[in-house]
Structure 1
Amino acid sequence: MEAFLAYTLVVAALCSYANSQLVPAIVTFGDSTVDVGNNDYLQTVFKANHPPYGQDFSNQEPTGRFCNGKLATDITAETLGFTTYAPAYLSPQASGKNLLVGANFASAGSGYDDSTAALSHVIPLSQQLQYFKEYQTKLASVAGSENASSIIKETLYLIGAGNSDFLQNYYINPFLNKHYTVDEYSSYLISIFSNFVKSLYGLGARRIGATSLAPTGCLPLARTIFGQHERGCVSSFNTDAQQFNKKINAAASQLQNQLPGLKIVIFDIFKPIYDLVANPKKYGFVEATKGCCGTGTVETTFVLCNQKSGTCSNATDLHHSKEASDHVSLKQFDVLRYQQAGRSRFLNDTDKAVNSHRLLNISKIPRRRNGYEHQENNSKFLQDGTMNIN
């Protein structure tokens, strides 16, 4: 649900800047909220290639999506008029003319921090960037260099990451939470986000949308593992998410001012999701505090549904959304109504952070190292972006 709400708004904003013209392609980076099957080709436990995943998809079979049906990016593509979805980059379908509609590099279990992906043996964000560079070469061979450059510039780039960095790494990793405060780790993730955006910009991207953190303390996974049997939201986690969201909005504002021609939108999805959890009946749900495997608490395996756990009528696991909530989001926050109502309805205090009309020119793109801009202002982190825990 959180992913769809955000990306619906992202599409509305970014496409309105282009006089509502459809984008030629969609390129996606991130974690399980936007992975369309890359993990099926990895040696990892984080896979959605078995029931009940996919039970409500068009072919009623698992597709590698961590959802009972369509993901946010799927519905976004349909909203923009696409008749097919950008393929998972590691799949056999990611070749030839299929690449003209984009590619999906996301990997469940990944995050901004490469160490998050390492814990699950999935594709880190840095490798997703390298795959994107490969994609550009392949695209040029299919469309020609000139056409490929145009496609890259006009493509819609989506980034969905961050929640796993906290829930599946920082909060359970003593090497992190004993050496770094939440504020320090949050700042580290923001630096990676900023460097990633600058890298995409250097590779030709000009239209980028990303989500903030959801109220992570209200996700069934957090309630079950960290809620101490109270089943309420973990308030400290939500506070951490809100602080992260302030930082990512500030980072977006800075990037907007630094990089000429960049259109970047960050949507703080914390409030609408928190409202859904607090008032599920308002959106047509009976239960919004549990996963939909077994009793919704401890029955899942590695926070995933499995073939024997059983599901409710609208299936979801402890960490991922279901298509039904995606469509509720579409009804409540559809693209046309968003365009008519204006960005202020959803952006509130973050409007200044994502106002793409405020562009300042700079003389050159910042120098990069190992795929990301070189950082020199944080003594706790090494120059290559890795963390120093000595």
Structure 2
Amino acid sequence: MINIGALVVLFAFLFLSCAYAQDTTTLVPAIITFGDSAVDVGNNDYLPTLFKADYPPYGRDFANHQPTGRFCNGKLATDFTADTLGFKTYAPAYLSPQASGKNLLIGANFASAASGYDENAATLNHAIPLSQQLSYFKEYQGKLAKVAGSKKAASIIKDALYVLSAGSSDFVQNYYVNPWINKVYSPDQYSSYLVGEFSSFVKDLYGLGARRLGVTSLPPLGCLPAARTIFGFHENGCVSRINTDAQGFNKKLNSAAASLQKQLPGLKIAIFDIYKPLYDLVQSPSKSGRQYFDLN
């Protein structure tokens, strides 16, 4: 998942735009990230939440072999993307002490595990809702202007690469386990609600200066170990009905993105389809040189 996500992010934006034309070796001045556990680099370490990655084996394959707050043994897709775009260090988790001074020049990460498009679910999980992530982004802009000066800060905000990864927690940790929702709304209705929240978020982010945005689709949720364990019953392999829900959401997401690009002048938005490559890996791991592939 990590390598696929990184390559999709990289090549999509190389096609969408030219290199960042300043005294730098990076192709964009900064990477600014919003979303959930797929891209959280440690914000949840500073929250009173159960969703943390501050203990082994998390981080065992990272540079210092210590937990970093990433929900991963090593690097995330956004880390590989930063590497390939020429960055020598990674944008810090905004709630961490590292998010200060010149470290802010290369961006910031506002993502929070167990967050998503559904604000209520994020609040219940004691994660950072997307609305609060946007508030932190506004705060970041003020700090950036003090460090870089107003003119350079405005240039960084305009030319930065923005990444949004959300939706998985909304379904797996909220919809499917919450009878107050799944007994009232069908998966299709809930998907429509989430995509509406996505559109509102993008419009707000655009209003704050973002112009190049990469958004991940949902992965094959029915292939996640948790989904297979809790909802698989006697079904072998992935849970087909949950994968169908993910595909339905992705279709709505693509339509919404196309509409937003028409509505908002200058916006370049790409939906990165991680569903198909990940599903193919689960079904045929030997094609990637593996005997087994798990989405955990």
User: After the TM superposition, which residues 1-390 of structure 1 pair with which residues of structure 2 at under 5 Å, given as runs?
Assistant: 1=1, 4-21=3-20, 22-289=27-294, 320=296
Residue 15 of structure 1 contacts residue 23 of structure 1 at CA under 8 Å; is this kept in 2? no
Which aligned runs of 4 or more in structure 1 are off by greater than 4 angstroms?
none
Partner of residue 333, structure 1: none
Moved more, 278-287 or 196-205: 278-287
* Contact 1:249–1:266 under 8 Å retained in 2: yes
Is the 2:35–2:111 Cα contact (8 Å) retained in structure 1? yes
Contact map agreement 1:208 1:265 (CA 8 A) in 2: yes
Shift of residue 136, structure 1, vs aligned partner:
0.5
In 2, the alpha carbon distance for the partners of 1:230 and 1:181 equals 22
RMSD between superposed Cα atoms in Å: 1.2
| Letter matched to residue 213 of structure 1 | L
| Change beyond 3 A, Cα 1:227–1:267 | same
Kept in 1: contact 2:112–2:128 (CA 8 A)? yes
Quote the offset at 1:219 in angstroms.
Answer: 1.0
| 1:288 Cα deviation from its structure 2 partner | 2.4
Question: Larger Cα Rg: Structure 1 or Structure 2?
Answer: 1
Displacement of 1:280 in angstroms is 1.0
TM-score, scaled to structure 2: 0.95
Give the CA deviation at 1:141. 0.7
Which amino acid is the alignment partner of residue 4 of structure 2? L
Q: Give 2:24's aligned residue.
A: none
SS in 1 for 2:214: strand
What is the rounded CA distance, in whole Å, between the counterparts of 2:31 and 2:89 in structure 1?
11
Q: Which amino acid aligns with 2:13?
A: L
Q: Give unpaired runs (5+ residues) of structure 2.
A: 21-26
CA distance in 2 between counterparts of 1:13 and 1:211 reads: 12
Q: Deviations over 1:316-335 (max 9, x none)?
A: xxx64xxxxxxxxxxxxxxx
Question: CA contact under 8 A between 2:9 and 2:81: conserved in structure 1?
Answer: no
TM-score, with structure 1 as normaliser: 0.72
1:184 offset after TM fit, Å? 1.1
Separation of aligned partners in 2, 1:140 and 1:8: 31
CA contact under 8 A between 2:164 and 2:215: conserved in structure 1? yes
CA contact (8 A) 1:7 1:209 kept: no
- In the alignment, the residues of structure 1 paired with residue 245 and residue 170 of structure 2 have an alpha-carbon distance, to the nearest angstrom, of 12
Aligned residue type for 2:9:
V
SS at match of 1:46: coil
Q: Distance in 1 between matches of 2:121 and 2:163?
A: 19
In structure 1, distance between residues paired with 2:32 and 2:64: 24
Q: Is the 8 A contact 1:49 1:63 kept in 2?
A: yes
Distance 1:88 1:32, change over 3 A: same
Shift of 1:231: 4.1
Q: What amino acid sits opposite 2:282 in the alignment?
A: V
Number of residue pairs matched by the alignment:
290
Letter in 2 for 1:10: V
- Residue 4 of structure 1 and its aligned partner are, at CA, apart by 4.4
- The amino acid that maps onto 1:11 is L
Q: Distance in 2 between matches of 1:83 and 1:246?
A: 36
1:169 aligned partner, one-letter code: N
